[in-house]
Amino acid sequence: MYIVHVESPVNTKFLSIEDRRSWHESFLPSPHLDSGEPRLVYSYAHVISGFAARLTSEDVKAMEGKAGFLHAQPDQELEIMTTYTPAFLGLNQWNGVWWDSDFGAGTIIGVIDTGILPTHPSLSDDEMPLPPLKWRGRCDFNDASLCNNKLIGAMSFKAGYDSSPLDEHGHGTHIASTVVGSQVYDAHVLGNARGSATGIAPKAHLAIYKVVHDNQGFDSDLLAAIDQAILDGVDVLSISLGRVSEQLYDSAAIIGSFAAMEKGVLTCAAAGNGGPYPSVIANDAPWMLTIGASTTDRRITVTVQLGNEMEVEGEAVYQMSNLERTAQSPIAYPGSNGVLEFKYCRPSTLFNIDIQDKIVICWADNDGNVEKGITIKRAGGAGMILLNSPLQSLTIIVEAHVLPVAHLSHRETMKLLSYIDLPLHTCPTATIISKGTRFRAQPSPAVASFSSRGPSLINGGILKPDVISPGVNILAAWSLDTGLSQSTPFNFMSGTSVSTAHLAGVAAMLRSTHPEWSPAMIKSAIMTTAYKQDLDGNHIAAEYPDDSPDSDFFAMGAGHVNPSGAHDPGLVYDIEPSDYINYLCGLSLTDREVSVIAHQNIQCSDVEKISVEELNYPSISLSLELDRRKIITRNATNVGEAHSVYFVHFDEPEGVTMDVTPDMLYFTRKNQKRCFTIEFITKDDFTGRGHVSEGQLSWVNKQHTVRSPISVNFV
C-alpha cells in the first residue's frame, strides 16, 4: 500500500466525490488488481490532496512521470503510544473552567484509537444534551442504538474493508473515558484507587474513529479517520498514535493535523513512549499540541519485608483474598545466572526451576508483566517481585495481577539485590505486604521515565514536547474482562496516550468557553499558563535517572498543564495557517515537500519565508553562535481585561544577555495585538559551544503571568 500526494487539476474544482475519485484513479496503472480487488483504497477529501492505493514500487516509479504527481510513501505502521486526575488538575465542579465550560458541553471530541465499548457505564448519556446541529457523523455499529447523546458516532477504518468500531484491545475505551467519561460511582481496580470516575470534559460529545485492529494500525487509515473527522465537524482531535518520523512530510499524523488546523480543529497528540532517550519524539509539528507524561501523587503501595527485616517499597495491584500480607517465603531468582531470558522470566525459562511456594524475582518489561505472573502462579509460585531497569528508573507501571506482586523502582531494586547477593543469605526470604492507596507521594508531579524527550530533529528546533500531563497509572474504563472478578471493568493504563486524553478534555473546555479562539490560541493558553513547580514548590523532577534531577524543557516542555490558568491566560500568541507555510519554506523544504504538507500547490519563492525563531510560538527556542547576537519578534494578543498593562520579567539563560523592547505592554481593548522584540547577546566570556541553556520570559500583571520557556543552543 502507498499513500500518494498529487496536485489538484489546474482550473478545476471537484463537483462530486466521484470527480475526485476519477482524478485519483487516473494515476493508477489499472482500476483493479489481478485478484479483482480495487486498487484505490481511500480518496481523501480534506486531509491531503491525494489517495491511498494498492501499488508496487514499480507502479509508483511509473507514476512519478505523470503530470500532477508530487510524492508517494509506503504505508507505515503506527505505534499505540480516571478517579483522581480531575481533582489533581484542580478541576472543581462548583467553579473555574469546569463550571464555566459546563464540563465541555457543546463540543465534539474525535478520538482516533482502537475503538470503543459502547455499553460501558462511562458512556451513559444521562443529562447529556443533543449533539450540535453541525454534527454530520454516523454510528457504524450493527445496532445503531448503541450510540447516544454521549457517544454520537463510531466508525472503523481498515484498508477499505468493512470492520466494526468495537474495541477489542482496551486502549480506545480507556482513552475515550478519560476524555469525556460520565461519572461512575465506586470505580476501582480490585478495591484500589476507589472513587467516582469521571472524564476531563464529561459533557462533551464523543466521536470514535477506530484505526487499530489486532494491535496494528497504518498511516493510510489514520489519514482516512482525520479526513472523516474534519467532515463530521469535530472540534478537537485526540491522537494517541504515531511514530518518530524522519521528515515532517512523511508523517500521516503531522500532515493530517495540518488540514485539521486549517479547519479550526486542534490536534492533541502523544509525544511517544521512547524516553528517557533524547530526540525520540513523535507528533512534533508546531501546529500540534505535543504532550508528555507526568505522575500524580497517588500510589498503590506495597512493602517487601526481607528476611533480615529490611524493607523495600513498591507498587502493585493484586487480589489477596482479603489478606494483607503473604507468608514469609523463600526467594527464587531465575536471573541469578546472568542470562537475559532468565532475568526477565520468559515462560520457557521457568520449567526447570523450583518456584513452588516461592516469591519469584523478575525484571520488568514494558508490557507482558501480568503474563509472567500468570505463568508463575500456574507453576505454584507464591508471589512475584518485579525489578525496574536503570532506564525505567523511578517510574513504576501498575497493572492488575493475579497473584501478590511488588513492583520496585530501580532505586529500591538495588536495595533488594544487595540483600539477596549477601553471601550469608544462602536462603533469602521475603513477604509482600499490601498497604493500599496512598496520596501525597513526593515528588509530584514528575516526568515519567518513558515519556519521550526532545529536541526534535525535524521541526527546525521548536521546543517539544509542549506540555506534560498525567499519564502514569491512570484509572479509567476498560473494554475487556480482566478475569479478576470485577463487575464493571476499569483498569490502570500508563503512557503519553493517556496524557493526551487529559489535554483533549482541557482543549474541549477551552473551545466551549472561547469558541472564537483559533487552535493556536488554545494551545498558547495551555502552554503559557503551565507550571514548573511540583506540589511542594520545587522544580518538577524527572523520574530518570535515580537521583531524580530537575526536568529540563526537552522533558517537560513549558511545564505541567494548569486547566484553570488556561481558562484565563491574559495574553495568547496566535498563528495563522499561512504563517506555518512561511515557516515550512524557511526550513528549506522543497516546493513539493511543502505542498504535500499544505495539500495545495506552494511555490516558496512566492511566500515570505521566516526562520524557526520568528514563528509566533508560545515557547522560544533558538540557535546562537558564540560572539553573535540575534533579535526575534513575538506578537501578543490580549484576551483578558480590555484595559490592562503587562510588565516584562525574564530569567536569562546561562551565557546570554537579554533585552526586551518594550518592557511594558499596554492594551486598551480585547483582541488588541502588541509586538515586542527580544535581543539575545552571547556574553563575552562564555565558551559553551554545544551547550543548551534555559531561561524564561513572562509578561506579568496582578491577575496573570504569561510565561514562555526559552532554550538557547550555542552552535
Question: Of the listed 5, 120, 171, 599, which one is catalytic?
Answer: 171
* Cell reading at 301: 503501595
Q: Please give the single-letter amino acid code of residue 331.
A: I
Q: Give the span between the Cα atoms of 589 and 232, in whole angstroms.
A: 32
Q: Give the span between the Cα atoms of 188 and 210, in whole angstroms.
A: 26
* Cell reading at 24: 485519483
Rounded to 5°, angle at Cα 496 from 492 and 498: 40
Rounded to 5°, angle at Cα 74 from 72 and 80: 125
* Cell reading at 97: 473552567
* Active-site residue, 162 included: no
Q: Give the span between the Cα atoms of 239 and 113, in whole angstroms.
A: 7
Q: Give the span between the Cα atoms of 364 and 70, in whole angstroms.
A: 46
Which residues partner with 50 through β-bridges? Answer: 5
Question: 527546525: which residue's cell?
Answer: 460
Q: For the chain, percent helix, then strand, then coil, each to nearest 5?
A: 25, 30, 45
Q: Give the span between the Cα atoms of 695 and 683, in whole angstroms.
A: 15
- Classify each residue of 367-388 as buried b or exposed e, where b means 16 or more C-beta atoms within 10 Å of its C-beta: eebeebbebbbebebbbbbbbb
User: Would you tell me the crossing angle of helices 219-232 and 252-262 to the nearest 10 degrees?
Assistant: 10
Q: Give the span between the Cα atoms of 531 and 539, in whole angstroms.
A: 9
Asked if residue 47 lies in contact with residue 255, where contact means CB atoms within 8 angstroms, the answer is yes
| Measured CA distances, 6 to 70, 228, 284, 562, 592 (Å) | 5, 19, 24, 42, 10
* Active-site residue, 409 included: no
DSSP alpha helices (H): ranges in 334-396?
340-343, 369-378
Q: What is the DSSP letter of 364?
A: P
Question: Of the listed 5, 46, 75, 113, which one is catalytic?
Answer: 113
Q: Tell which residue, 450, 452, 453, has the closest CA to residue 472.
A: 450
| Measured CA distances, 204 to 109, 282, 451 (Å) | 7, 27, 27
Which residues partner with 466 through β-bridges? Answer: none
Question: Of the listed 479, 497, 644, 708, which one is catalytic?
Answer: 497
- What DSSP string describes 150-203? SEEEEEE-BTTB----B-SSSHHHHHHHHHHPPPEEEEEETTEEEEEE--SSTT
* Cell reading at 216: 496494528
- Element housing 597 (H / E): helix 591-598
Which residues partner with 475 through β-bridges? Answer: 492
Q: Give the span between the Cα atoms of 107 and 122, in whole angstroms.
A: 18
* Active-site residue, 171 included: yes
| Residue numbers annotated as active site | 113, 171, 497
